[in-house]
Amino acid sequence: MRRSWMTALTLVAALAWLLPAAAHAQATGTISGLVTDESSAVLPGVTIEVLSNATGLVRTAVTAADGFYTVPLLAPGRYQVKGSLSGFRTVVREGVVVSVSETARVDLRLQVGEVTENVTVVGESPLVETSHATMGILIDEKKVVELPLNGRNFTQLGTLIPGVVAPPGALGGQAGDATPGGFGNVTGGFNVNGMRNQSNNFLLDGTSNNDTFNTGFVLRPPPDAIQEFKILTHSYSAEYGRSAGSVVNVVTKSGSNEWHGAAWEFNRDEALEARNVFALANQPKPKLKQNQFGGSLGAPIVRNTLFAFGYYEGFRNTRGTTTTVTVLSEAQRNGNFAGGAAIRDPLTGQPFPGNVIPASRLSPIAQMLLKDFVPLPNTGSNRYTASPDVGDDRDQFGIRLDYQMSQNHSLLGRYMRSQTERVTPPITTPIAQISKATLQDVMLSDTYIFSSSAINVARFAYNRIYANPAVTSGLKNADYGINVPHNVAQATGLASMLISGFFTLGDSQQPFVERVNEVFQFTDDFTWATGRHSWKFGFDVRREHMVIAFINRPNGDFTFNGVQ
């Protein structure tokens, strides 16, 4: 067992002297722009109001002497932008879309007139991001929910982006049902611009969602619980840090003033799948039954003040996996190897007469192991083929609460949990191969607006993986006459026995019986916007704790290869 912990402290004092200013926290976006009159002269002192269509939240700003304004730290969604100044008509811009890690440029042109007169402008924000040099592509809610995904793994959508490819299977692949648990970076997602899939940094609502052991993601919310996500490929700001590859920034859905929800069921069945060519004709067709189902609901608890969003998703998969094993025939179990390779007496080195081992020389230990764990052949002289049903059951749920305490103070709380269990029936092993995992994530965020130009966001997050990737049988060597002690109680099982050219008996040679990964994180970001410029200060403190119980040959290890 190896026990280690790491404390990482990153202090970022980012003094961003950008034109125009682009101050955004990791799970939010920004609206900024220039306000002018009809002669294109800049207008200082214009009051800017930004209204969230979803929650009714209003944020304000005032244009500086250069006519520029910035409204940072806005949750992704649609907004209305209003500009007003005495002696000018009020201008209203509808349908402004704010996306994660992006700045929506909204320039306003005011006309001379009464403040009570409104000029409404409807139009989309520019498609080109001009406020910073970060390269990345946004995957919005429509793509996340509506594009087909086998297994509903949102990272599969990353390959729609130039420079992003699925990793080869040997490096973890990109399975739709990927979940952390044992060995292998199965949740790394993709390779970006030639970097390894271990180099990605996964964020969930601005906080770490990284498996510190395998370097992939921890929680994988269903697409219906994701507002949008963005993959930043390079030139991202100092606040992200950590990894040399991409930054995968996922924002979960929140409640709003409107009730909204969804329900889903995805099914796969063996009736629509070809029969495995290696399955025996006299056996039933290998089973395939997969159901992925769930629902989500978002609603106001107190209108314009308290909002809730929750989801549940279940996954049930039963798949017959066709396997062929070389076993011993009835005659061979009784010592008769006539017609085969010469069987030599280990005491004399000479072949047994007729290639038959005398009954008195047969090991009672071997006969007991064969009787209990090795089936007789069902095809050919010494082949056993079967398609046992591998079961994979998963359940996950999450809840998010957004509380607008006042116009200047808001809180966010979120909890997610996922449980998985995969069972592979035995053929020559003592028990089924059982792999279990429980994943949890909790996050609290506090946003306080000191003024229209000074905002602070503090976050605390904790995620945890508890897994039993390989549960051992608990059988004792002594019960089978094997004189090898067990040196780790939690990994007790039969000794691993490899019979060259045939099969493997016993428990795993190196059972991975337990792993615990914990990440405690506290971050604070302070943004100060002054006209076209913004200053940003922040720190990120993490404590990463890992317990790995990957045990080397705890019950003994035997190899029989026929070499004297």
Nearest residue to 218 via CA among 155, 297, 169: 155
Q: Rounded to 5 degrees, what angle do the CA atoms 195, 175, 249 make?
A: 55
pLDDT of residue 500: 87
pLDDT of residue 137: 75
Q: Which two tokens stand for residue 335?
A: 């010592």
Region of 549 please: left (phi>0), alpha (psi -120 to 50) or beta: beta
433-451 and 512-530 strand pairing = unpaired
pLDDT of residue 10: 39
pLDDT tens, residue by residue, 398-413:
999 999 999 899 999 9
Region of 474 please: left (phi>0), alpha (psi -120 to 50) or beta: left
97: which DSSP letter? Answer: E
First to last CA, the chain: 35
Q: Is the pLDDT of residue 478 over 90?
A: yes
Q: Is the pLDDT of residue 130 over 90?
A: no
Bridge partners (DSSP) listed for residue 192: 164
* Sheet architecture: strand order including 77-84: 58-62, 47-52, 77-84, 90-98, 118-122
Q: Which two tokens stand for residue 37?
A: 């009159």
d(CA 301, CA 257): 9
pLDDT of residue 119: 67
pLDDT of residue 190: 82
d(CA 338, CA 316): 48
d(CA 126, CA 121): 14
Q: Please, which pLDDT band fits residue 177 given cuts at 50, 70 and 90? A: confident
Residue 36 or residue 245, greater confidence: 36
Q: Is the pLDDT of residue 132 over 90?
A: no
**In terms of DSSP H, where are the helices of 390-515?**
none
d(CA 546, CA 78): 41
pLDDT tens, residue by residue, 254-284:
999 999 999 999 999 988 888 988 899 899 9
Q: Which two tokens stand for residue 531?
A: 């006209």
CB 96, CB 111: distance < 8 Å: no
Task: Choose the weakest-confidence range: 77-81, 168-172, 282-286, 339-343.
Answer: 168-172
**Average of per-residue pLDDT values in the chain:** 86
CB 19, CB 532: distance < 8 Å: yes
**In terms of DSSP H, where are the helices of 359-463?**
364-373
Bridge partners (DSSP) listed for residue 421: 393, 436
Q: Is the pLDDT of residue 441 over 90?
A: yes
Task: Choose the weakest-confidence range: 87-91, 164-168, 386-390.
Answer: 164-168
CB 502, CB 186: distance < 8 Å: no
d(CA 85, CA 290): 60
Q: Is the pLDDT of residue 370 over 90?
A: yes
Q: Rounded to 5 degrees, what angle do the CA atoms 190, 14, 519 make?
A: 50
Question: Dihedral, CA atoms, 277, 280, 281, 287, nearest 10 degrees?
Answer: -80
Bridge partners (DSSP) listed for residue 497: 505, 558
Handedness of CA 468, 470, 471, 474 (dihedral sign): negative
Q: Please, which pLDDT band fits residue 125 given cuts at 50, 70 and 90? A: low
Q: Is the pLDDT of residue 49 over 70?
A: yes
pLDDT tens, residue by residue, 452-474:
889 999 999 999 999 988 889 99
pLDDT of residue 244: 76
pLDDT tens, residue by residue, 494-514:
999 998 888 999 998 888 888
373: which DSSP letter? Answer: H
Which amino acid is residue 151, in one-letter code?
Answer: G
Widest pairwise Cα distance in the chain: 114
CA distance to 28, 69, 233, 394, 533, per residue, from 104 (Å)? 12, 12, 20, 39, 16
